């Protein structure tokens, strides 16, 4: 199905937040004196990241009837992300994230997502959004964590599937957003029939096949960076059996590995090297990756080159303080790649 | 996989209730003076129905720490249904149903399912149940309506699939148990990859593909008998594309139609005639059908004969006052069939 | 303030239910085969009881959009209780009670009050009711158990106080309706400044001053008849210090004791003998008492005679099967008293 | 009752939060780039304020099992406020406040209090705190907004009353913390029988007697500074009739007015002038006032002098950026007063 004439290149659906990131880099959380104010949330970051690269990008999240919602909207509009489908949810609160930054490996995070607006996305909100007018739909694991967002997200994926759009799922495993961490995998596996491309870290891939909550370890309140043990290769094979044709395994500094379904002999692998940089803050790096990868995919690039662009975007972001506010532009990432020897 | 040596023939999972059925047959609800006290709930009825026919049957439901829970348990034990896996849920209430009976076509029903115990079934409850020790697992649509029961039910189906058990889904569409009636279809469709055999009426099949809530009409508070318009044949084809190999369409007095996935040319149909009887109370007839059908299936009967037994069980039940308490025994249903010319 | 010209003699505010009472008197709950269908709930019973005695009585309860709500309304209208102020609460359920009857001392009870309609009474519902047009307002402890009913009930009492109406509080202690049984007393004590006359059993009076949950013992699921230990006389004195001028202590077969605030020397007591009868079902006896007492009070009788009428109404009710449906008429209770030697 | 030998001078009970206050003074909320991180919440501010002045001060709030809770605790300990009675509430979140600062009159505020820890204070938490070992107990209106905090707060007041401690109520009207703004007044009025001294602004006093939600106007999301119209003098008289012997009316730059119950001829007034300063941020000024007032009261000062000290503390705080972190010490406030001509 030729989708090039569609209004949007990508609609991202799911959570958004004000991201409050410690300005006292290296200070323990108790001693933080101020926080920078950014915008974040996996699909929100990707909507901004793809927009900065040049895609026509829309976001379907929800905000409360509060100043924080205004803050999020104001930023998105300035970035040129389409915000007209974002509903206000009376009586619900715009999400917030509070983050400590102690590089290289401590990023304690507190979510303010109780009664949050974005988990109140409904099937009616989806119907008010031109899903069929987009070439790609990006959904996330957290969007499946609670109703009504869960069924709305699946409904959007069904609509996108019917319209021949590419459906990407960012696994986005946030353990404290689930009533039972095993329910995460159960739910994700049921959604995969609707997904073309899965994006996730090794921990997230293991989480998707988790059978025992003890496989998870969270240190320093790093909800967004849980360690999950497991047989990653077996997990990848099992996930690919459930519907997707591609699974991209994000491997941090080591780059990424693309797993393709390829007939009888199982999956085919493409290893795509990363770019070595000094880590300041890992949050949002995966979303920068997704933005670059999506840019390449929408423009018909091969898996290697699209993934390599994603790696570059991710590398740039880990050197930065925040998420959406620091997504690279097309020129920035291209210069970055050229400076490091090209694709 | 040979499963004949397993401990149970069928484990049914999901709701249970005290069923309070009007003793004033024909009286409007406002004028009812007494109610008979039975036990009901789709999977509960099926656990009793299959047991009476001779299967080794276990039930995984949950009850509150209340007298109504005792009532349900007492009945199941007397019937010989295995109840040892049924947890008590402190702070939750055993479900109740209050029903008026105005034949031939008014059966107003009120569910008492707020904060009910059976929707609190968890993955831990499933793990404490020998799912792999049963030849078949029966789950229901209502079991998917809310968490934690929803992910627990899918988890049980995954376990049964791994163990090579047959998985049956009774669609059991109860519109008032869902936050959005379109979410019912979204959720059901995501579960079908785990299901072998789907059981449903035409209304329920249409509900599974519902796009517009206006397709539903409920008269006289008949929550358990909503009319749902739609293109049933198209819906059957779509549902069969999502995983199941068999869909049994229950057609009331007209009998049943078995739809089989059969290679390139789509589904194959087997029409199985019903048994004409005078209707007293339609509730539970579908569960009696499922019991007979399951008996035949477990015993290796062909689709026609198993379905015909189901039709007979259903016909017997519509002449009765309640559900679980009136399921026919093997001898009763065989005599009934013989008296009407045999299979 | 002369209130004789007001439209209503009494407005009762609070819970209502379909009361399903075992028809198998003496059978353990598990073996009950049918339930009689009545109407109940403390203020509902009193609205019917006072009406049958001849008072102009209105009820402010709430019902769900369900058949059980219709059942309750239908009964009240037939009785001549004013129902026009009773709102329907969409998405909420009419309350239900299921009761076993094993005289003389086992009456196991299960409340279906999760998400119930009557606890959703709001200040707006109170404003839509002519509280100032009634000579008396009767409120209950259970009406204070949860919001929004709690603040609506207090608001109604403030309006009644302003209008010079008599405010009666039936303690109506139902331990499972409170998140913490000590919160019951805390809340009740805060309400007493608005109350003229308190009605309660010794157990309820002790519950109102409870400091340790272990003082409560509930046997055989008798939520409506918890035993609460304590120094009842001290409790009475403390309660009377908080606002009411009268506290009526219901003592079952032993009759009632009226405690009056009387200046410097504390409370004055009037002992009012009961009527010996054979107990069939104790539920509702206290509400029958309240009805008789209220009749006498509204008609300007003295404390002794009003209480004696209450005792007679209560005695009649314990010989009956249910609550509201069995409240005595004026002629019935007068004959009963005369047959036993008069007041 | 001589209470001078008690362990604490004051136990404050209720909410606490991380306070995130715009560092971009004057910027509209959407354009804020960073927030200073402080600690706040009415009783928390007062516990710090009284401690800095020299009182022995304990706080009974609750925090979640999160980094924000650690942040709050760390600050309180550094200040020397007793924190050993503060429980962690698993599954609940430490409260947060996000504030824009646009002097002189716009301070848009967003509360993150859904599922918050401090509203989960229970009667058991109160029993684990030596209420009887303190000379004064300070409670707040927001602590009465929801259960279980509401009954726990009233229970604490009952204990304090029994122990002969002074009970102060800061009205702390936060309209969005109530399901119905009229329920605020209903609830507050029921609590007053337990209160000795009430502290509130004119808006808050009017809110306590509010009959129509339209009396409230909130501009620029200033939840903590709602305007409430009404007859303040009549309201004061009505509130004083309900139990307290003193009501302190905070009048901003105009100082404060102390209303004393004084026998037959109603209340007596003492006007206490304020200190003119340039306003930077009004939040917390009332809590600084309460701290100074409490210091004077505990030390046996007269109403005028205690109130004048309160006025000075409040004046100092409005020139500061945040709340608890900027409470004046004894020396600071004494110097401030001397510099302005003394008491």
Q: Tell me the ipTM for this assembly.
A: 0.95
Q: Check CB contact of D193 with chain C, cutoff 8 Å.
A: yes
Residue B343, burial from CB neighbour count under 10 angstroms (0-12, 13-18, 19+): middle
Predicted local confidence at residue D118, as pLDDT: 98
Q: Check CB contact of C322 with chain B, cutoff 8 Å.
A: no
Which element (helix H / strand E) includes B307? Answer: helix B303-318
In this complex, the residue of C146, C158, C183 whose CB is nearest that of residue D123 is C183
Residues 6+ apart with CB under 8 A from A313: A49, A53, A288, A289, A291, A292, A327, A328, A333
Residue B189 in this model has a pLDDT that exceeds 80: yes
Could you give the CA distance from residue B313 to residue B50 in angstroms, rounded to a whole number?
10
Residues in chain A: 343
Predicted local confidence at residue A264, as pLDDT: 55
Which element (helix H / strand E) includes B19? Answer: strand B17-22
Each residue's pLDDT tens digit, C309-332: 999 999 999 999 989 999 999 999
Residue B265 in this model has a pLDDT that exceeds 80: no
Q: Which two tokens stand for residue A58?
A: 């829309």
Q: Check CB contact of A128 with chain B, cutoff 8 Å.
A: no
Each residue's pLDDT tens digit, B140-159: 999 999 999 999 999 999 99
CA distances A256 to A208, A316, B328, C152, Å, are 18, 15, 61, 61
Identify all chain D residues contacting A65, using CB atoms and an 8 Å cutoff. none
- E strand intervals along chain A: 8-13, 17-22, 34-40, 57-60, 63-64, 88-89, 96-99, 109-112, 134-140, 166-170, 197-201, 216-217, 227-228, 246-250, 256-261, 267-272
Identify all chain B residues contacting A155, using CB atoms and an 8 Å cutoff. 182-183, 186
- The answer to whether the Cβ–Cβ distance between D66 and A30 falls below 8 Å is no
Average pLDDT, chain C: 95
In this complex, the residue of B33, B75, B110 whose CB is nearest that of residue C68 is B110
pLDDT beneath 70: ranges in chain A? 263-267
Between residues A282 and D43, the one the model is more confident about: D43
Question: Smallest Cα–Cα separation from D150: which of D181, D112, D179, D121?
Answer: D121
| A near D: at least 3 beta-carbon pairs less than 8 Å apart | yes
Average pLDDT over every residue of C265-285: 88
Could you give the CA distance from residue B48 to residue B59 in angstroms, rounded to a whole number?
9
Q: Check CB contact of C148 with chain D, cutoff 8 Å.
A: yes
Each residue's pLDDT tens digit, D303-323: 999 999 999 999 999 999 989
pLDDT > 90 fraction of chain D, expressed in percent and rounded? 89
Q: How many helices, marked H, and strands, marked E, lie in chain B?
A: 10, 16
Locate the chain C residue with the closest alpha carbon to B68. Answer: C110
Could you give the CA distance from residue D343 to residue D334 in angstroms, rounded to a whole number?
9
Q: For the ranges A236-250, C7-21, C99-113, D259-273, which has the lowest average pLDDT? A: D259-273
DSSP class of residue D109? Answer: E
- The answer to whether the Cβ–Cβ distance between B18 and C98 falls below 8 Å is yes
Residue B264 in this model has a pLDDT that exceeds 60: no
- The answer to whether the Cβ–Cβ distance between D67 and A96 falls below 8 Å is no
Predicted local confidence at residue B282, as pLDDT: 86
Residue D222 in this model has a pLDDT that exceeds 90: no
- The answer to whether the Cβ–Cβ distance between C183 and D151 falls below 8 Å is yes
- The answer to whether the Cβ–Cβ distance between C179 and D154 falls below 8 Å is no
Cα-to-chain-centroid distance, residue A205: 14
Residue C266 in this model has a pLDDT that exceeds 70: no
Predicted local confidence at residue A40, as pLDDT: 97
Predicted local confidence at residue B222, as pLDDT: 83
Q: Check CB contact of D117 with chain A, cutoff 8 Å.
A: no
Predicted local confidence at residue C263, as pLDDT: 60
In this complex, the residue of D31, D93, D109 whose CB is nearest that of residue A112 is D93
Question: Smallest Cα–Cα separation from C14: which of C135, C104, C125, C165?
Answer: C125
Residue B104 in this model has a pLDDT that exceeds 90: no
Interface with chain B: mutation pick from C27, C67, C108, highest number of B CBs within 10 Å = C67
- The answer to whether the Cβ–Cβ distance between A100 and D67 falls below 8 Å is yes
In this complex, the residue of B71, B96, B221 whose CB is nearest that of residue C29 is B71
Each residue's pLDDT tens digit, D250-305: 999 999 999 999 765 556 999 999 999 998 888 899 999 999 999 999 999 999 99
Residues 6+ apart with CB under 8 A from A248: A197, A198, A199, A200, A256, A257, A258, A259, A293, A307, A310
Q: Check CB contact of A74 with chain D, cutoff 8 Å.
A: yes
Predicted local confidence at residue B194, as pLDDT: 98
Predicted local confidence at residue B224, as pLDDT: 80
Identify all chain A residues contacting B183, using CB atoms and an 8 Å cutoff. 123, 147-148, 151, 155
Chains touching B by CB (3 or more pairs below 8 Å): A, C
Q: Check CB contact of C66 with chain B, cutoff 8 Å.
A: yes
Average pLDDT, chain D: 95
Q: How many CB atoms lie within 10 A of CB B65?
A: 15
Chains touching A by CB (3 or more pairs below 8 Å): B, D
Q: Which two tokens stand for residue A253?
A: 């500094």
Q: Check CB contact of C93 with chain B, cutoff 8 Å.
A: yes
- The answer to whether the Cβ–Cβ distance between B29 and C67 falls below 8 Å is yes
Q: Check CB contact of B78 with chain A, cutoff 8 Å.
A: no
Residues 6+ apart with CB under 8 A from A127: none
String of DSSP letters for B194-250: G-SEEEEEHHHHHHHT---GGGEE--TT-GGG-EE-S-HHHHHHHHHTTS-SEEEEE
pLDDT > 70 fraction of chain C, expressed in percent and rounded? 99
Could you give the CA distance from residue D208 to residue D173 in angstroms, rounded to a whole number?
8
In this complex, the residue of B18, B34, B109 whose CB is nearest that of residue C37 is B34
String of DSSP letters for C52-99: HHT--EEEE--EESSHHHHHHHHHHHHHT-B-TT--EETT-B--EEEE
Q: How confident is the model at residue B262 (pLDDT cuts 50, 70, 90)?
A: confident
User: 0.90 exceeded by the pTM?
Assistant: yes
Q: How confident is the model at residue B219 (pLDDT cuts 50, 70, 90)?
A: confident
- The answer to whether the Cβ–Cβ distance between C123 and D191 falls below 8 Å is no
- The answer to whether the Cβ–Cβ distance between C35 and B20 falls below 8 Å is yes
Instruction: For residue A2, give the 3-state DSSP assignment.
Output: coil
Given a contact cutoff of 8 angstroms between Cβ atoms, the answer to whether C75 and C47 are in contact is no
Could you give the CA distance from residue D58 to residue B306 in angstroms, rounded to a whole number?
74
- The answer to whether the Cβ–Cβ distance between D74 and A33 falls below 8 Å is no
Instruction: For residue C342, give the 3-state DSSP assignment.
Output: coil
Where are the alpha helices (H) located in chain D, listed in sequence order? 42-53, 67-79, 123-127, 149-162, 181-191, 202-208, 232-240, 285-298, 303-318, 330-339
Identify all chain B residues contacting C20, using CB atoms and an 8 Å cutoff. 20, 35
Predicted local confidence at residue D265, as pLDDT: 53
Predicted local confidence at residue A59, as pLDDT: 98
Residue B238 in this model has a pLDDT that exceeds 80: yes
Cα-to-chain-centroid distance, residue A224: 11
- Strands B166-170, B227-228: pairing is unpaired
- The answer to whether the Cβ–Cβ distance between C100 and B67 falls below 8 Å is yes
Reduced 3-state DSSP string for C47-58: HHHHHHHCCCEE
Predicted local confidence at residue A123, as pLDDT: 98
Average pLDDT over every residue of B199-215: 94
Residues 6+ apart with CB under 8 A from C11: C57, C58, C59, C60, C85, C129, C130, C131, C134, C136, C137, C138
String of DSSP letters for D273-304: -------S--TTHHHHHHHHHHHHHHTT--HH
- The answer to whether the Cβ–Cβ distance between C148 and D186 falls below 8 Å is no
In this complex, the residue of D36, D116, D221 whose CB is nearest that of residue A67 is D221
Predicted local confidence at residue A266, as pLDDT: 59
């Amino acid at each position: 199905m030729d989708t090039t004439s569609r209004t949007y290149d990508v609609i991202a659906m799911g959570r958004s937040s004000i991201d409050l990131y410690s300005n006292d880099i290296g200070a323990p959380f108790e001693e933080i004196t101020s926080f920078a104010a950014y915008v974040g949330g996996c699909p929100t970051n990707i909507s901004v990241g793809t927009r900065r690269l040049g895609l026509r990008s829309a976001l379907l999240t929800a905000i409360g009837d509060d100043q924080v919602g205004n803050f999020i909207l104001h930023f998105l509009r300035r970035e040129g992300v389409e915000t007209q489908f974002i509903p206000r949810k009376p009586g619900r609160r715009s999400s917030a994230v509070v983050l400590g930054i102690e590089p290289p490996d401590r990023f304690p995070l507190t979510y303010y997502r109780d009664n949050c607006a974005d988990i109140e996305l409904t099937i009616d909100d989806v119907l008010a959004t031109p899903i069929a007018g987009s070439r790609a739909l990006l959904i996330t694991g957290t969007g499946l964590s609670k109703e009504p967002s869960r069924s709305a997200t699946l409904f959007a994926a069904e609509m996108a599937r019917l319209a021949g759009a590419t459906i990407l799922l960012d696994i986005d495993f946030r353990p404290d957003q689930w009533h039972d961490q095993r329910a995460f995998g159960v739910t994700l596996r049921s959604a995969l029939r609707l997904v073309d491309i899965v994006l996730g870290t090794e921990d997230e891939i293991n989480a998707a096949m988790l059978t025992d909550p003890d496989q998870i370890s969270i240190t320093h309140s790093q909800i967004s960076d849980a360690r999950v043990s497991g047989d990653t290769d077996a997990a990848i094979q099992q996930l690919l059996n459930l519907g997707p044709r591609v699974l991209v395994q994000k491997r941090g500094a080591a780059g990424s590995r693309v797993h393709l379904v390829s007939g009888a002999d199982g999956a085919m692998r493409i290893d795509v090297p990363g770019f070595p940089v000094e880590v300041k803050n890992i949050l949002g790096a995966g979303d920068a990756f997704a933005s670059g990868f999506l840019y390449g995919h929408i423009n018909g690039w091969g898996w290697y080159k699209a993934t390599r662009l994603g790696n570059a975007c991710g590398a740039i972001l880990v050197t930065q303080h925040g998420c959406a506010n620091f997504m690279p532009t097309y020129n920035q990432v291209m210069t970055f790649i050229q400076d490091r020897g090209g694709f």
